[in-house]
Amino acid sequence: MVGYSKFESERFFVETMTRILRNRSEYKVLYINISKLKPKNRHPRFVRIVARMFDNMVAVADGTMFVFNNGDIAILGKNITEKLVDEATEKLRSGLITDPIWVNQGAEKLVQLYNSNDFDVLMGYANELILSGNDSDMPQDSAPIDAGQIEAVKNHLDTMDLVDLVKHQSVIRLDSSNKFTKLFEEFFVAVKDLSTRFDRNIDLTANKWLFLYLTQTLDKKTMASFAFSELHDHTTQVSVNLNLSSLFTPEFEKFADLLKEKEQSLVVEVHIIDILNNMQTYFDAKELLHRAGHKILLDAADIEMLQALNVKKFAPDYIKVFWHPLLEDYEIGDNIKELFNDIGVDKIILAKSINEKALRWGVKHGIRSFQGPYIDNLEVAITRSKCPNGKLCSAAECHKRKKLIAGAVRNQCAHLEYLEGGVEI
């Protein structure tokens, strides 16, 4: 196992800066002072989002990104120009940070360009961060996939039949009579399931660039692997997780046409990081979907993210907010309700709802749509109560069969007709 330090990025920064001392005049550092922002905008998840926003910029700068323990981001490169600094500033200003410190202090305080003459200052600052905290080791069980392996994995993926890996999960909505009905069903291939088809010692997700490349192939394969003849058994609205770039492929066009033939509409779930890296592509994709009568969903949001981003600018049809037990003790509950109302509470889906407490919290804050293990368990209970063989199968067996759309495991059910269809709770 390989251990790494809590301050590994700072150490690597100092080592790198030391190695380039002889040629330091060729380099510059673009520095983003996330640590100066309010605590809610220094949340680790938000820092990761901001870092991903600058991925493309790192490539243009022929550089390396360092994300410090306090949230600050340093990009060291040879091609960092004033234009690039302006672009970085605009990325943050463009509705992505509403922090009053950002508004009051401006770019000159939060986005800075350091020339070689100032490198000693940055190295000293990084060393201070290292000395200010204690190291903690975290094990890493599998090795990240590398560029030499990605083509072999991709070629293997091209030969695989993914139908038996495709799962689905309901999103249900509380209507005016306080009954739950299906809003739509999400279809997906879980990365952990996909990993079982490859070497378990390889982490498919560790290298974000290579994983993005792989998911673009996975998108096409997943769309082609759906058992289209069975989708009419599901709700009239289905959702899939896709990269924005996948919406402009022949595979997506064919997939959308097949759904149209069955008079089913589509919800495309797009990860927030993909949106922030490809904002114009997002708006083009949303227009494409809306023209065809489909919808777009902003996936994987949390409270800190919604407070930090100008979500109204993206105007998605739905937003998935991830439930976490800590939300019960959130100190600014009233502000959360105001936030939801400002965004449009009817757009919000409380995902990862693990228990009744999650539902109660959601209803208290105006949310009417839910997804997660608790919803799955309710559906399984109803399915077993209606199925003639319901008492002969355990809840776990029923759930395992119900979430699949095809394959030997699903076909173990003696009454497949009870696995699908509308469910009222």
Neighbours of 105 (CB within 10 A): 14
Nearest partner of 186 among 302, 297, 305, judged by Cα: 297
Written as one string, the DSSP assignment of 303-339 is HHHHHHS-HHHH--SEEEEEP-GGGGG-TTHHHHHHH
Same domain, 303 and 210: yes
Q: Is 425 a domain residue?
A: no
- Considering the domain architecture, whether residues 68 and 186 belong to the same structural domain is answered as no
- Among residues 99, 120, 139, the one where a domain terminates is 139
Residue 231 has pLDDT above 50, yes or no: yes
pLDDT band at 233 (very low <50, low <70, confident <90, very high): low
Burial class for 93, CB neighbours closer than 10 Å (0-12, 13-18, 19+): middle
For residue 322, the model assigns a pLDDT of 87
Residues 6 and 119 in one domain: yes
The count of other CB atoms within 10 Å of the CB of residue 384 is 20
Q: How confident is the model at residue 139 (pLDDT cuts 50, 70, 90)?
A: very low
Strand bridging mode 180-189 / 166-174 = antiparallel
Q: Is residue 150 within 8 Å of 213, Cβ to Cβ?
A: yes
State phi, psi for 276 to the nearest 5 degrees. -65, -30
Whether the pLDDT of residue 268 is over 90: the answer is yes
Structure tokens at 340: 């939801």
In this structure, what CATH number is given to the domain that contains residue 47?
3.30.70
Q: Per the structure, how many domains does the chain have? A: 2
CA–CA dist 187, 225 (Å, integer): 11
Looking at residue 404, the DSSP 8-state letter turns out to be B
Q: Of 24-33, 205-214, 400-409, where does mean pLDDT reach its minimum?
A: 205-214
Residue 423 lies in a domain: no
Do 111 and 241 have their domain in common? Answer: no
| pLDDT (tens digit per residue) in 73-99 | 999 988 888 888 887 777 776 645 555
| Closest-CA residue to 158 (of 192, 190, 187, 197) | 197
Higher pLDDT: 52 or 330? It is 52
pLDDT greater at residue 240 or residue 423? 240
63, 80 contact by CB (below 8 A): yes
For residue 335, tell me if it sits in a domain.
Answer: yes
| 152 and 130 within one domain | no
Which residues does 395 contact at the CB level (< 8 Å), separation at least 6?
A: 377, 380, 381, 384
Residue span of the structural domain in which 97 resides? 2-139
- Residue 76 in contact with residue 29, Cβ under 8 Å? yes
Mean pLDDT of the 44-66 span:
79
d(CA 267, CA 232): 16
Contacts of residue 82, defined as CB under 8 A and 6 or more positions apart, other chains included, come to 113
Q: Which residue has the higher pLDDT, 111 or 186?
A: 186
Q: Mind listing the pLDDT tens digit for each residue in 161-191? A: 777 788 889 999 998 888 888 999 998 887 7
Q: Residue 20: pLDDT above 90?
A: no
Nearest to 126 by CA among 65, 72, 76: 72
332 and 191 both lie in a single domain: yes
The CATH number for 170's domain is 3.20.20.450
Q: In this model, does residue 35 exceed pLDDT 70?
A: yes
Q: Is residue 424 part of a domain?
A: no
Q: Which residue has the tokens 């033939």?
A: 261
Statement to judge: residues 97 and 116 lie in one domain: yes
Is 235 strand, coil or helix?
Answer: coil
* Same domain (yes/no): 122, 150: no
Asked if 296 and 321 sit in the same domain, the reply is yes
Q: Do both 339 and 374 map to the same domain? A: yes
How far is 97 from 103, CA to CA, in rounded Å? 9
323-348: pLDDT as tens digits = 876 676 555 455 788 889 999 999 99
Regarding whether 154 and 121 lie in a shared domain, the answer is: no
- Angle CA(15)–CA(16)–CA(22) in degrees, nearest 5? 105
Which stretch, 27-31, 60-64, 109-113, has highest mean pLDDT? 27-31
Domain closes at, from 113, 139, 165: 139
Mean pLDDT over 51-62 rounds to 79
Domain boundary among 116, 139, 162: 139
- Residue 5 — pLDDT band, cuts 50, 70, 90? very low
Structure confidence at residue 317 (pLDDT):
97
Query: How many percent of the chain have pLDDT more than 90?
Result: 19
Concatenated DSSP letters for 10-49? HHHHHHHHHHTGGGGGG-EEEEE-GGGS-GGGG-HHHHHH
Dihedral sign for Cα 124, 129, 134, 136, please: negative
- Whether 397 is in a domain gets the answer yes
Model confidence at 286: pLDDT above 90: yes
Of 357 and 100, the structure prediction assigns the larger pLDDT to 357
Q: Are 337 and 148 in contact (CB under 8 A)?
A: no
On whether both 319 and 374 belong to a single domain, the answer is yes
pLDDT of residue 83: 83
